[in-house]
Chain A
Amino acid sequence: MSYSVNISVEATIENQIQEIQYDGTEIYQPPLTLSESLAKYAQKIDFSKTSEVDIKKEESSEDSKSDTDSKDAFQSSIWPWDSVRTKLRSSLQEICVLADVLAIAKEKRYLVLDPVQQEPLETKPMVQIYARKKALGGAANVLLAGAEKMKNSQTEAARNRTTLDFHIELLRLRQNWRLKKVSNTIIGDLSYRTTGSKYLQTGTFEVTKAEDEEKPSSPPSSPLPGGPIPSKPNSALRVSIPTELQGVAYIEVLCQKDQEDLCSVNLNLMGTAPPPSNPDMHWQQKLEAAQNVLFCKELFNQLAKEAVQLQAPIPHMVVGNQIMATVLPGIQLIIGLRHSTSGDKKQQTPPPSKSDHDHVLEHSLHQLLREVHHKNTHHPFPHPATGPLGPSKKRMLAGPLAADRHELLEMTKTQTLLEQIVQQAQHFIMRMRTEYVLDTIAKEVKDPLISSHWNTLNSPTHSCVKIHISTHGYDAVCRTPLIIHVGEKSLKCICRDGKVMNMSYEPQELRDLIFCHISQHQIVAVQALAKTMGWQALGNSNHLGTGAVEPLGNSSSCLLSSPTGDRIIAVRCEPQAGPQVSVAHSPRTDFFPSRLVTERKWEHLGGQFRDVRLDKMEGRNFLHKMELLMASLTSNS
């Protein structure tokens, strides 16, 4: 600095040109006065800068101080706020100064604020233009970026057909389910209300747009050959179902004999094994499953209500998710609601059911509830313009037809679901028993063949079986038909001669009846056979009064005589013991006069009967043996 030379800088002597007139004269700006130039220079001093420097200096010194004190600062909680305090203090100072300045300016007693002439800034039009250009460029960039983003999202949606468009999905959903918009959310309804259900539980679900959370996983899959290999499109739509409708439900119907299962039927609307309710299931399946849950719940609720209300001789029991109803003595019908959410699905072992069981009970339970639904919405025509909907056509006609109280009471009687299903279960058991009895008899009894043909047309509570009793090889000779109507708790048998027998649910009664008919069949068949052989039927009785008392039914018998009349065959058939055959020769071939029978003519009265040991005879069956017997007796004469 010692070599420094003082350089004095002075303002140019010439004043700035303010204006040049057309004639060329230049008008100069008047030079600044002393006070003006003082003011101008004073204005250039930045007071705040100096003070800031001071403050910075102070701060730095304080920082160093606070560094040293930092160890103490851990103990004292005042120090962390120290910087705030100093800032506040400096701002207070400035405010105070400002207030002072304002006060001074207002008072105008000590000081006057003088306007300082600003030095006009040099205008640089090019800079301005550049700035504006830059600004416009920035704005254009913003616009382009926005447009690009929109375009991208459009093309992405158009090209990426794997994720279906939300609106298309929504349209499909709308076509199959009821939806409505409530404020900002789309609410759907999967209950059976519109089809006539009166169940209180709501089946609402919410539809949301699926967020692109699987996006990070999809880019790695897209480079695979063939592009969208995971052709299962992850839907752009998500449905959220209330927790009580999630999972899989079905209604289990069991017929139990004391403790052992007679039959078990598992039913669910989904048909086969219910699919696991994983979160990425398609919404259609998800909703269907939820609807099924709702349906099963309603069905069970209805059944439970009826079970409690019904006055049955043996009261129905409702325990938890199970209804127990007595169908026939010793046989219970158990209806249970099984609802498994995805969590405990694995633990629940499927009940040991014969899965290939007939699903009549399953189907009918569903049918019954649907019928109720249908009745709730489909009222019989004509609909009255005024007055309640719902009374049956019969009841609407009750007025004009002047029905009496009894008739009206009859009309109000309706069968509940539980009653109907109990009836069907009863019928089911009755049918099974009948089948069993017929099959065992057919197996036990070889001689007359017992064949049964089940009618294919039947109703859930009524079926019919046709039984033929015939002898092998002699079908054309004689055949005893029987028809058994299987009802809910009783059997009705229509016999060959048109007699109607009513039986209870005990299978033994049917068994006895069949055995009686077998024995009668044998007698009738023998007579028919005799007719073809030229023998004469002397007499027959279906209910023979003689002989030992039968344990069941009556024995039947017939008496046949040979064409020449010299041989007589007596046949007696007992339901239990089977046929007995005796033969009498009426004149004997040799005659020895005795003291009682002195003449040969008395021999025409007929002689003693001698038993034929059928089991020693040749022949496939009874009728065959009889044929052989008759033939031999005929040829001998």
Chain B
Amino acid sequence: MSIPRSLPQSKEALLKSYRTRLKDDVKSMLENFEEIVKLSKGEHDTQLSRMTQCEQDTYEMHVRAANIVRAGESLMKLVSDIKQYLILNDFPSVNEAITQNSKLFRTKQAECDQKLMSLRDDMAADLYDLEEEYYSSINK
């Protein structure tokens, strides 16, 4: 009995993790963008020489841009994960599919049964005639 009770909790945690992932990624995008904009202003006093500072800024901007891209990819992955989660845990739709399938198969079965029955009846009638003919003929 512990499994059904613990399951919703883990599910809850999973959903929460999805939410945090979403927020984290969006936040990371925003922050990185802001940082890039800040860097481009270039008003900061440092002890480094100017060229080094320029190099550092360039590098930082690249890294931050890459971070934005990474956050975007991560969002894509999140979308795919959520899709997967939905597909695997959407029991109402699965139940619907099952009912639909079973209905389909039931109708198919009924159809087959009916066809088999009519076929059997036809064959029985024909067989009777054929038997009659065969047993009363000379060529046996």
Contact = CB atoms under 8 A, between A and B. Distances in A.
Interface of A: 121, 123, 128, 131-132, 134-136, 138-143, 145-147, 150, 166-167, 170-171, 174-176, 179-181, 186, 439, 442-443, 446, 449-454, 456, 472
B57 A174 contact: no
A623 to B, nearest CB: 14
A124 to B, nearest CB: 8
Interface string B37-49: 0011010000001
Nearest to A166: B80
Contacts of A136: 36, 40, 61
B64 A139 contact: yes
A75 B85 CA distance: 65
Contacts of A446: 138
A135 B61 contact: yes
Nearest to A136: B40
15 contacts: A121-B49, A128-B42, A131-B58, A132-B57, A136-B40, A138-B58, A140-B65, A141-B65, A145-B69, A170-B88, A174-B97, A176-B97, A451-B136, A454-B127, A456-B120
Contact of B73 (A146, A174, A454): A146
A184 B27 CA distance: 26
B30 interface: no
A449 B42 contact: no
B71 to A, nearest CB: 10
Given A452-B135, A472-B136, A142 B85 contact: no
B87 A170 contact: yes
B19 interface: no
Contacts of B58: 131, 134-135, 138
B13 interface: no
B61 A442 contact: no
Contacts of B72: 146-147, 150
Contacts of A472: 136
B34 interface: no
Report the contact-size class of chain B (Cβ under 8 Å from the partner): 35 or more
B5 interface: no
A132 B120 contact: no
A150 B76 contact: yes
Contact of A181 (B85, B120, B123, B135): B85
Interface in B76-110: 76, 80, 83-85, 87-88, 94, 97-98, 101
Nearest to A179: B88
Contacts of A141: 65
Chain A: interface secondary structure? helix
B94 to A, nearest CB: 6
A551 B90 CA distance: 79
A139 B36 contact: yes
A93 to B, nearest CB: 28
Given A132-B39, A175-B98, A456-B121, 4 more contacts: A139-B61, A175-B101, A181-B85, A186-B88
A138 B57 CA distance: 11
Nearest to A171: B87
Given A128-B42, A139-B62, A442-B135, A174 B69 contact: no
Given A174-B87, A175-B94, A442-B140, A131 B54 contact: yes
A446 B57 CA distance: 113
B40 A132 contact: yes
A138 B65 CA distance: 9
Contact of B131 (A142, A147, A453): A453
A181 B62 contact: no
A142 B69 contact: yes
A174 B61 contact: no
Contacts of B69: 142-143, 145-147
Nearest to A167: B83
Contacts of B134: 451
Interface in B123-140: 123-124, 127-128, 131-132, 134-136, 138, 140
Given A136-B40, A140-B65, A121 B50 contact: yes
Nearest to B69: A146
B66 interface: yes
Contacts of A123: 50
Contacts of A449: 135-136
A18 to B, nearest CB: 20
Nearest to B56: A135
B87 A167 contact: yes
Q: What 4 A-B pairs have minimum CB-CB distances, sorted nearest first?
A: A146-B69, A451-B135, A135-B58, A139-B65
A121 B54 CA distance: 15
B68 A143 contact: yes
A123 B127 CA distance: 111
A166 B76 CA distance: 14
A140 to B, nearest CB: 7
Nearest to B60: A135
Given A128-B54, A138-B58, A174-B94, A456 B42 contact: no
